[in-house]
Structure 1
């Protein structure tokens, strides 16, 4: 028999297993949202007893490179039950009904999967603690996780959302606007030290003032764009501000821009001071001579948002674009709003600018910082085309 009821003090006689996933050290939902939700208990009864699960909405927040606890607790009766027969399993929800294994423990035996190896461990904060700690958080760790606790007869689950502090930025390649299918959008974000943004991340960016008139892919396969200042060329002036949604689009056949998300930098972006401006090839060499590499677009956005990099000088980036970050707007630096100014994709050989370099905090296994940046167009995925589009964010 399966039924639901609003949470109240437990009155069942025999409780076999209790799993509680809660947002410890978490950023809770706004009060008005919290009040609008009822916490529900689902009870499954059969001849063996009862399983009770309580879950509460919330999320835990960290940044790339940090550590975070995904909280999950369980209660098992009778108290004398053998803890070595309790199985704890963590998975990541990557899509509807699609799960990626993260961690599993049965007594003293533990196993970590895939990219989580060497980074995940049980917190072990007393009896009934199924929480795990993830170290050296990556952009790909963002998302929803499931905690499952199983004994010999029954199992139950709870969910925790892992959020990252960071910045969303729109992106289109040298070939021009609306040229990316979903897979290409995913690839270009990764190439620029980012991932495709989620709807929640884009919505937060819109609340913070992001205004962009071109639709872009999000990680769930939808196509959306944020409008803070409605105007006729962006869906009519008389429509309300908000995140416009085209819905889920065909991932292979349809083409749009991309909205990317990046987080904390493991290094530093800086404008390389030189006596003369350089073309792209010379910019690459200049950064390498300085012990760095040419900065990626995502790295410049992270430096602007998180490290408050403010520089009123246009410079080359790794993708062959020209940009510069403005924290404190002034008249001669591209308008009244803060943001990363984009001056398009000039000719790589004959146009000259400064350059933004990136120096990592960690050396690679050979003791060399980073690796040389490839020239745009050397890879078959890159398409060379000159544009003079100017866009201020």
Structure 2
């Protein structure tokens, strides 16, 4: 008899869980960054049940985003002052970063999230938070935990950013960076180390690069769209090659960086004369700007659709130029940011790309100013290919 009752309880519980119907995770362009509504049906066990949106929520640097989380508890008249809502960021499998906690009307925001995070408060059972002025570092996985006296439950939300991945090595040459130096050079170029997911998406969009680079999780990988003998043998399938997790202090590789929406504008400074590096710096300063960083040029190419067939200095001393609409005299048949390397800074052979920051530093998404003749979605960051 007890066994039959237990089996009946399992059947009912299974039916109730089958009735949990989250809205599909596919988003249109106009829906990106909006909260997903999740409907939850519960039994009468009294447990707290947390439901978060499937898939990812997507925004851009400088924007605002709602991380959706709803909970249900029985009985309905449970004192709201006894409900604790806690948000943390999962930095790896064993570490968490506190973001936000609320107990009744008492709320606290932590660390770099101070002044940027608030509860959405869209009605009973809403534990969603809004993050304003999104930064590159906000990318990642978040945990929503709701506690009601002794009962608690958690759910997870993945925050993704629209942006671009690019390979990078400094003037001193290839394979010169340990993990911490790779973090630093990406930061210096207005970027962060890319995640595996970001690199994989860039590979799906056409990124092909033969040199291995650090990723944010401490692994070393590289994307190959066109297998060849110089890059792990011609007869191997295309894909993201993975060296695994490497020693962060002792081993040296390049870096794969990720950047997102600009809070300003990159432009080629029109001059009648070519300039050396020091003259380029002064020219941008006289124009009320600074010399553009590599990450800023990539973001301008990807988001602003900057297309310029003129080589120019960047802040790190490299010479590059962005091509949206490929043509014969502009470095190859595919769109991308062309890289001419690190010449002697005394050479007066190039122009300069400047960056002017928006007066409103909160960052409004920049709308494209040029319609490409050829899509760049298939080649997210195809720089001059290294064979």
Structure having the higher helix fraction is 2
Distance across 2 between alignment mates of 1:255 and 1:298: 21
Q: Deviations over 1:126-151 (max 9, x none)?
A: 10000000111110000000000011
Distance across 1 between alignment mates of 2:12 and 2:155: 17
Q: Which moved more, 1:317-326 or 1:344-353?
A: 344-353
- Work out whether residues 269 and 357 of structure 1, in 8 Å CA contact, stay in contact via their aligned partners in 2: yes
Q: Deviations over 1:88-117 (max 9, x none)?
A: 000000111100010111111111111111
TM superposition score normalised by structure 1:
0.82
> What SS does the aligned partner of 2:182 have?
helix
Q: In structure 1, which of residues 249, 252, 256 is the aligned counterpart of residue 253 of structure 2?
A: 256
Q: In structure 2, which of residues 82, 86, 89 is the aligned counterpart of residue 85 of structure 1?
A: 82
Distance across 1 between alignment mates of 2:53 and 2:131: 21
> What SS does the aligned partner of 1:244 have?
strand
Q: Is residue 16 of structure 2 the alignment partner of residue 10 of structure 1?
A: yes
Q: In structure 1, which of residues 98, 106, 109 is the aligned counterpart of residue 106 of structure 2?
A: 109
Displacement after TM superposition at 1:352 (Å): 3.1
Distance across 2 between alignment mates of 1:83 and 1:8: 29
Aligned to 1:308: 305
Q: In structure 2, which of residues 247, 271, 276 is the aligned counterpart of residue 274 of structure 1?
A: 271
Q: Is residue 320 of structure 2 the alignment partner of residue 328 of structure 1?
A: no
- Work out whether residues 310 and 327 of structure 1, in 8 Å CA contact, stay in contact via their aligned partners in 2: yes
- Work out whether residues 21 and 71 of structure 1, in 8 Å CA contact, stay in contact via their aligned partners in 2: no
Task: Identify which of structures 1 and 2 has the higher relative contact order when contacts are C-alpha pairs closer than 8 Å and 6+ apart.
Answer: 2
Structure 1: tracts of 5 or more residues without a match: 12-19, 29-42, 365-389
- Work out whether residues 179 and 255 of structure 1, in 8 Å CA contact, stay in contact via their aligned partners in 2: yes
- Work out whether residues 71 and 131 of structure 1, in 8 Å CA contact, stay in contact via their aligned partners in 2: yes
RMSD: 2.8
Q: In structure 1, which of residues 61, 66, 71 is the aligned counterpart of residue 63 of structure 2?
A: 66
Q: Deviations over 1:305-358 (max 9, x none)?
A: 111000000000000000000001111100111100000001112343100000
> What SS does the aligned partner of 1:233 have?
helix
> What SS does the aligned partner of 1:302 have?
helix
Aligned to 2:117: 120
Q: In structure 1, which of residues 68, 71, 75 is the aligned counterpart of residue 72 of structure 2?
A: 75
TM superposition score normalised by structure 2:
0.83
Distance across 1 between alignment mates of 2:23 and 2:181: 35
Aligned to 2:127: 130
Q: Is residue 150 of structure 2 the alignment partner of residue 153 of structure 1?
A: yes
> What SS does the aligned partner of 1:126 have?
coil
- Work out whether residues 52 and 157 of structure 2, in 8 Å CA contact, stay in contact via their aligned partners in 1: no
> What SS does the aligned partner of 1:10 have?
helix
Query: Residue 5 and residue 202 in structure 1: after superposition, are their counterparts in 2 closer, same or farther (change >3 A)?
Result: farther
